[in-house]
Structure 1
């Protein structure tokens, strides 16, 4: 990979990640690389300016923060195929990020990238739009505004003074599947299956899959169960009986827009993928599950003599 123009993003308000970003910028600029650097957070979105002001193709995005910082990078950079090196500096859980200890020797990291000694993991993403009842859900012109998510799209109400129960009707490929009464509905990618979805008792999907997991949030029915769909499916969600006009669409935990009476949310798999650079030579998704979710297994540990070879 060439390093001629690079984005460096750090977690807004975190001085530790900002210092690391400044260090990386100095090192790469000394090698003749043009740097676009700025903070990313709930009130800071540097990507539209970066993409509009880029004088040439962007080779790499270095994202220093946690999973939320990495999610924001994926939403904005995946459509252009820009690879993302996300490092857990200033973050917490770190499902999507490389561990900070692999980033201590940054000069060695740049050398590895220049010599193509890394892997790229591609992760499925979702797109969504809010449409009126007279719009065909299969008719999706490219110029129409969309919302993009790496983890999940969520339809649920929001109110400043009370908890509101939502009633949502689910359609898959034009056929009504169920009506859910509860806190909302999640449509997640395999990446998002270990986030809000797993907290709502949804299934865990391997990130190498292409699938969508639909999970009701606290449904008032024991028969309302999660559903896993193939990637070509079209999902439509209609809010019903929303007298307070409180139903919202959220992407990766970020508020997108309100959904008004007569409107629905259409969700489908994006054509592009998020591309994450992996530095770990022994990367294991199952080890990540054990470590990040604190899987304890059996309380009593037994010897597995079947693993012993002569």
Structure 2
């Protein structure tokens, strides 16, 4: 018998397009004799019938052996942060836009679940980031991030002034629109747009990426994840930046305060199809290896 006896279902909130997929998942899971727990805010919950249990997203992982997320990467990020304490594996069904982390198509869920319950799947563990804010008058956190921790000026037309440290070693002073500390998972997200490198998800590393720096030589660097990156905000006392985790949760960072980012104790645990390939994802999503697209009307 499979290890996944109780399965949780989470759908992108407010998106009725995921409801048919959630209903189909309920049917398949019940056919396999699984106990099903559905998020209370899932679209189309009523259609799943009276044979499913209900749970808030924040507590679902504590009741399940597996969580299936239907939506895009943002839904998976939110679900993963909510369930990080329990370390329950997550399977993503892609009904979003890009889908770097949700790699099962809705049409594939029958075959995927049959293979899953037969033990034919891949497990993957990925680094998570943990952030804290420390200052003379307050401390905040810890905050968890799967992709990245970002600071940006609350006043979009002004640059930030800050300094960076790695453990107790000074790195540099910066004037930039902001700064990204990215995990390997997040290296194909905001950090990539900022000129950062792609980090393989098996690496224990973080990418440090300035956002639109004033000095062109202020380039991204890669550091070990077991070290602590400290970003100290400088400038006038009224300077206020925003610290954001995965583009979803924000908290203010004031002049003189330090943002500290390092590896979290918990891990992101993902379930993939047996034929999953990280580089296949990159080729498809980033269009690697494709030649220029010619306009036939121009010839």
Please report the TM-score for the alignment, with normalisation by the length of structure 2: 0.85
* Whole-angstrom distance in 1 between the partners of 2:29 and 2:120: 18
* Whole-angstrom distance in 1 between the partners of 2:13 and 2:111: 26
Is 1:94 aligned to 2:94, yes or no? Answer: no
What is the Cα deviation at residue 174 of structure 1? Answer: 1.4
What is the Cα deviation at residue 296 of structure 1? Answer: 4.2
Which of 22, 33, 47 aligns to 2:35? It is 33
CA contact (8 A) 1:66 1:94 kept: yes
Which of 286, 289, 292 aligns to 2:282? It is 289
Q: Any idea what SS the aligned residue of 1:80 has?
A: coil
Which whole-Å deviations, capped at 9, do the CAs of 1:3-25 have from their partners, x for residues lacking one?
43222111122212122113322
Which of 189, 200, 216 aligns to 2:210? It is 216
The equivalent of 1:156 in structure 2 is 152
The alpha-carbon distance between structure 1 residues 229 and 251, as it changes in their structure 2 partners (threshold 3 A), is: same
* Whole-angstrom distance in 2 between the partners of 1:105 and 1:151: 26
Which whole-Å deviations, capped at 9, do the CAs of 1:87-137 have from their partners, x for residues lacking one?
102x0111111131xx425444333222211111111110001112599x9
Structure 1: gaps spanning 5 or more residues = 138-143, 301-310
CA contact (8 A) 1:40 1:69 kept: no
Is 1:110 aligned to 2:133, yes or no? Answer: no
- How many equivalent residue pairs? 280
Q: Any idea what SS the aligned residue of 1:146 has?
A: strand
CA contact (8 A) 1:166 1:242 kept: no
Which whole-Å deviations, capped at 9, do the CAs of 1:72-97 have from their partners, x for residues lacking one?
122122331100011102x0111111
What is the Cα deviation at residue 149 of structure 1? Answer: 0.7
RMSD: 2.6
The equivalent of 1:179 in structure 2 is 173
The equivalent of 1:7 in structure 2 is 8
* Whole-angstrom distance in 2 between the partners of 1:210 and 1:172: 15
* Whole-angstrom distance in 1 between the partners of 2:255 and 2:42: 34
CA contact (8 A) 1:168 1:184 kept: no
* Whole-angstrom distance in 1 between the partners of 2:271 and 2:191: 25
The alpha-carbon distance between structure 1 residues 290 and 32, as it changes in their structure 2 partners (threshold 3 A), is: closer
Please report the TM-score for the alignment, with normalisation by the length of structure 1: 0.82
The equivalent of 1:307 in structure 2 is none
* Whole-angstrom distance in 2 between the partners of 1:145 and 1:81: 20
The equivalent of 1:306 in structure 2 is none
Which of 77, 82, 88 aligns to 1:76? It is 82
The equivalent of 1:50 in structure 2 is 60
What is the Cα deviation at residue 299 of structure 1? Answer: 5.3
The alpha-carbon distance between structure 1 residues 196 and 5, as it changes in their structure 2 partners (threshold 3 A), is: same
Q: Any idea what SS the aligned residue of 1:79 has?
A: coil
Is 1:122 aligned to 2:125, yes or no? Answer: yes
The alpha-carbon distance between structure 1 residues 32 and 287, as it changes in their structure 2 partners (threshold 3 A), is: closer
The alpha-carbon distance between structure 1 residues 211 and 118, as it changes in their structure 2 partners (threshold 3 A), is: same
* Whole-angstrom distance in 2 between the partners of 1:39 and 1:245: 38
